[in-house]
Structure 1
């Protein structure tokens, strides 16, 4: 679904040299979104006409995740749906945005999937683990090892593309793979008896999914962004209400190209955040319960992995004023 990419850093650094990069700030908000439940959820507001009711003139544009980051980097979008770690990556490489809303955090969709017979992280000591190095699930693996009393030195990393994880696990060449849905689910199906031995459910708040807005658009279109944020609770309620959830799943699964049953499984691994939740998440403090604390963790990881060389001022990427203004 998401593809936070270390390999994209050179693309971001040079993309504006190849394209005419001027601010896209305009009355119609151009928003890039992609296949992650907390972002696909906006299709409900689009289909139900709730954005228009709120007088939000927004053009939501569907992308593969990496392509949406490229479009934002090239100033072709007012906003993009991105992980908090990727917000830092984009800023470090030329286009800094402001996170104005956290739609959710990963709550099980990202996982370490082990071969049959392996039931814990400790049993992976000395064994090979496939992970796409420098990406968000590499960070998940480091946290899994840390919580199990180990470090990266206790395992053998095999750098592997995330979309290849099901085949790699099935080959038997590694003891485990690290991936997010749908790749993690495909790996589980590819190897009967395989199981998750660690998931993002065990580190809530490690991976926040957000709306990142161009600062010029924040300035020029503040009222529209405020109204868009105000629609979010209506979306979350529609998804969580048992009476309306079937219709919500129908809308979301249709956009993602899977069945409602499959999409409900993805949704179960995503912790949607209400506006009340956001008010708490946007309080500055250490730890993963705060967007600030979580993003500091992502900043440290990005530096260690060479995603960028200069530490980022996390506070400057987070704009709590929109969620704070919602009554």
Structure 2
């Protein structure tokens, strides 16, 4: 789960985990005041649309299908989706300008640790190959990187991916030398420095593969399904005040997933999604394939408590441990308090 959750063009806004701390802390005071105001006026605000922040990641751009098709109106739901750069969407949520925001599960914990309380009320997807470790020749597998330098942005989600890759290969972090590199600069780092590999997400990973002859992915998020979940993080006050609306929203989401997964309608869905981010359908389809949209049964299974990455609980515990170890925030979070499975669990 990125300088932004973008899969279209490198950007330079705050990273998905680490550099948001100060901005979120600044917004936390405003959130506390605004949340109290919101609670006191929940009834009078009931006629206002739900405000949801989304940004450039296939599992979130997918909502554009429902927007363009008019499915929210069909469901009797008044909702306004607002487009942001990823970091800006979290800032807006922390300032109580949004009822909900689409983020990674690790970033949901980061927001909460810095005062922007939320619950993960819907799982949209998990990264299924868009995050990767890219190595230069002659390396062909993770083990070939022992004793080598690897460029990665410290404290972000692909740092977590790299640590998982090393562990799965029977290696320790000390078996390699990590070089701090901004994710949007990793293609240049791989091509011009003495690092042997980089950890990055699309489009940066793909650019590294194009720029460096013979470069190849030696580990991707498809090798560890569920390491990086993407979720709808909802203000608990908003959820309590508008539960019926969130139930409708959840139903619309699974209509979207079915439409995208159906070979008969996938082409139309990809056309809609590609247009939202300024790509052709041919350019966008591989990016969609690197994202696993969860069907209803798969999401219900992910909401079951468990220790592994197949469970949102297990994945979030791992993200929490990583965040504390690398000082994204100081105090371990109560993961159970962040996960709200009832909306998905009620559907059949």
TM-score range, shorter chain: over 0.9
SS of the residue aligned with 1:192? coil
Structure 1 gaps, min length 5: none
Counterpart CA distance in 1 for 2:76 and 2:126 is 28
- 1:167 lines up with 2:167 in the alignment: no
SS of the residue aligned with 2:124? strand
The Cα of 1:19 is off from its aligned counterpart by: 7.9
Q: Name the counterpart of 1:89.
A: 110
Contact 1:116/1:193, CA 8 A, preserved across alignment: yes
The Cα of 1:196 is off from its aligned counterpart by: 0.1
Q: Name the counterpart of 2:304.
A: 283
TM-score of the aligned structures, taking structure 2 as reference length = 0.91
Counterpart CA distance in 2 for 1:152 and 1:222 is 44
Contact 2:65/2:273, CA 8 A, preserved across alignment: yes
The Cα of 1:20 is off from its aligned counterpart by: 8.7
The Cα of 1:295 is off from its aligned counterpart by: 0.4
Counterpart CA distance in 2 for 1:16 and 1:240 is 39
Cα distance change on mapping 1:238 and 1:277 into 2, 3 Å: same
Counterpart CA distance in 2 for 1:167 and 1:21 is 44
Contact 1:232/1:274, CA 8 A, preserved across alignment: no
Contact 1:232/1:275, CA 8 A, preserved across alignment: no
Q: Name the counterpart of 2:8.
A: none
Counterpart CA distance in 1 for 2:280 and 2:184 is 20
- 1:77 lines up with 2:89 in the alignment: no
- Aligned counterpart for 2:247 among listed residues 218, 226, 233: 226
Q: Name the counterpart of 2:20.
A: 8
The Cα of 1:101 is off from its aligned counterpart by: 0.8
Root-mean-square deviation (Å): 1.4
Q: Name the counterpart of 1:255.
A: 276
Counterpart CA distance in 2 for 1:308 and 1:214 is 20
SS of the residue aligned with 1:7? coil
Contact 1:72/1:80, CA 8 A, preserved across alignment: yes
The Cα of 1:278 is off from its aligned counterpart by: 1.3
SS of the residue aligned with 1:46? helix
Contact 1:34/1:63, CA 8 A, preserved across alignment: yes
Runs of 4+ in 1 over 4 A off after TM superposition: 17-21
SS of the residue aligned with 2:52? strand
State the number of aligned residues.
327
- 1:238 lines up with 2:250 in the alignment: no
